[in-house]
Amino acid sequence: MFPKLDPILHSELRLAVMSILAGVESAEFSYIKKQTGATSGNLSVQIDKLSAAGYISVEKGFKGKVPCTTCKITPAGLAAFENYVNSLKEYLI
């Protein structure tokens, strides 16, 4: 019996965002947008979903006069990500 994959993470863009954030301290919205190639609107929606799930924390601020959104993976997000990868392994073996 295969384990059920976390529906929050089992989506291309959300998984891409989590994969980026798992390897860095924190990342700005513009960096994640560049790495994923996603549109601002779609990325915002997915980031909100990850944030609502408690997987990432989002900090909105300013860099000079320009608005700046910084995302950071939470311990719960990291645990969920590790769990997701472990579940994937069972599918692939």
Partner 1 sequence: MENNFENKEMTAQESLGIITEMMNNSRRSILQNSAKHFILWGALLTVMSLLIYELIHVTHDPIWNMLWFAMPLIGFPMAHFIGKSKVALPQNIISKQLHGIWLAYCAFAVVISAVFMFIAPQNLTLVIILAFGFAECVSGITLKNWAIIVGGFILGIGGAIAAIILRSEAQLLLFTLCGVILMITGFIVKSQSK
Residue 68 CB, nearest approach to partner 1 (Å): 8
Residue 65 CB, nearest approach to partner 1 (Å): 15
Burial category of 40 from C-beta neighbours within 10 Å (exposed 0-12, middle 13-18, buried 19 and up): exposed
State the Cα–Cα distance between residues 2 and 71, nearest whole angstrom: 32
State the Cα–Cα distance between residues 93 and 91, nearest whole angstrom: 6
State the Cα–Cα distance between residues 67 and 73, nearest whole angstrom: 20
- Position 36 contacts partner 1 (CB under 8 A): yes
- Position 91 contacts partner 1 (CB under 8 A): yes
- Single residue of 13, 47, 73, 80 touching partner 1 by CB under 8 A: 13
- Position 14 contacts partner 1 (CB under 8 A): yes
- Position 41 contacts partner 1 (CB under 8 A): no
State the Cα–Cα distance between residues 9 and 81, nearest whole angstrom: 8
Residues near partner 1 (CB under 8 A) are: 5, 10-16, 19-20, 22-28, 30-31, 34-38, 42, 46, 63, 84-85, 88, 91-92
